[in-house]
Structure 1
């Protein structure tokens, strides 16, 4: 679901940034208020971003030779609220794009809208509705399943409209060459049949674990409560477990639909007798080389590089949370004097 650069036209990228920016701004403002009242939210933001980042490393095969992955947007919303979850997933997506080359830089607006806005807010609304009707466990499953599928539908729409809005005078697509009739079924099938269930499984398992060992960590649609260090350690155990297991994501060799590089896309276009060339806008588009592209660390084997990439991301999230703790810890002390 990480749309790379050059699959969307510059106009589409600009529109998606314009749509996503106000929501992220409002989310950041609300999280800032929460942090001023409860600095303990800071480590939870770091943990949440780590959970989402790690969940997205577990690629699973999809029939047809592609792959998909969970995101954790609804899970984070259940743990820290939809606004904080939106910020946490956004931070994870930014790090993935700039440091690991997973998702485009120009396409960040679209990826943030799909995974950091649509998913946590939709998933949490469904979960909260069922929770109020005394079915929180069902809410986690239904909310997470619907959240990721709606996000996938949006990605399919964004990709599929490209041949309609960006093409040459002769009608040849300039960016993503696949129309809506291809992109929506492809994204829908991958997530309805596979990724949605993986997302629901992850969400339910972690939710059930947290509910059992640290029930106060579950967001109650009120101001975030104080977080005890003893309860945070259980989530840290989950993160450590995911880091150790992260190389499992390497077992899936197929590339997710709409995330191919130009060489792989060209091969597909030739095999499918669609075109003998990559669309012009893609072949002459924006190119960014990430430091640890494809989660590889120079001088290490792929599994070790994968684990080191996960650890690197977690350390960055930890440092960000420490900075927030320092800033808002000082603010709280000054306010209490």
Structure 2
């Protein structure tokens, strides 16, 4: 993740920015609505953003022009839903590009699409699937963090495969090569991130139980409630 500045062809960088923009704008609206309707959730909202910033700032060299690291978006997606994380994740990536030289401005759209959009949605769907199966909340948090991390890197592999197709096997071959390289570092990182997410959530259960209950996260939900929530997200 964190594709470096200037690493993508200009037209592809522009295309990823155009693809990410509607999600980010929608996320900004969702954040404003969340703060207006539930002012008490502002601290948790800030904590979700800070958690993502800190985890995704842990930079491990992976490929030329890219890096491996946790993402931290799965927890925020569970707490506030993926649209909110589309905005928070993009803000995190922007600050990291400006202050830490992680990623870049021209590649912000591509990085946001993988880490702030695809990752949170996949993580959130994993959370819903685990909860629909009536498994413990901790299992749902782990699944959300693990899947959000891996989905981010799968998306990045596709982005890099499109930008640098293999001379013989084309985009598919290049994407598979990137996936195989990322998997070496990313699978254990995703496991660690999932376990860390469970620990952080247990702390939140102790110090912010009323806020979690207000967000509808602390209590076990029925299959019909999960189905209704999915239908609401599509409306």
1:35 corresponds to which residue?
35
TM value normalised by structure 1 = 0.56
TM value normalised by structure 2 = 0.78
Shift of residue 115, structure 1, vs aligned partner:
0.7
1:107 corresponds to which residue?
107
1:187 corresponds to which residue?
182
Q: Which has the higher contact order (CA 8 A, sep 6+)?
A: 1
On the 8 A contact 2:25/2:87 being kept in 1, the answer is no
The structure carrying a bigger helix percent of its residues is 2
Q: Structure 2 CA distance, aligned partners of 1:95 and 1:36?
A: 25
1:207 correspondence with 2:208: no
**Partner SS for 2:68:** strand
On the 8 A contact 2:75/2:144 being kept in 1, the answer is no
1:137 correspondence with 2:132: no
**Partner SS for 1:179:** helix
On the 8 A contact 2:60/2:67 being kept in 1, the answer is yes
Unaligned runs of 5+ in 1: 166-170, 172-177, 224-337
Deviation sequence 1:190-242 (CA, Å, 0-9, x none): 212x221121122111112212332233376669xxxxxxxxxxxxxxxxxxx
Q: Structure 2 CA distance, aligned partners of 1:6 and 1:70?
A: 23
Deviation sequence 1:14-43 (CA, Å, 0-9, x none): 111111111111122222222222233333
C-alpha change, 1:80 and 1:217, in structure 2 (3 Å) is farther
Q: Structure 1 CA distance, aligned partners of 2:85 and 2:211?
A: 14
Q: Structure 2 CA distance, aligned partners of 1:61 and 1:98?
A: 19
Q: Structure 2 CA distance, aligned partners of 1:24 and 1:159?
A: 22
Q: Structure 2 CA distance, aligned partners of 1:24 and 1:149?
A: 21
On the 8 A contact 2:16/2:113 being kept in 1, the answer is yes
1:118 corresponds to which residue?
118
1:156 correspondence with 2:157: yes
Shift of residue 2, structure 1, vs aligned partner:
0.6
Moved more, 91-100 or 125-134: 125-134
Q: Structure 1 CA distance, aligned partners of 2:19 and 2:9?
A: 15
Provide the aligned C-alpha RMSD in A: 2.6
Unaligned runs of 5+ in 2: 168-172, 218-235
Larger Rg: 1
Moved more, 124-133 or 103-112: 124-133
**Partner SS for 1:134:** coil
1:8 corresponds to which residue?
8
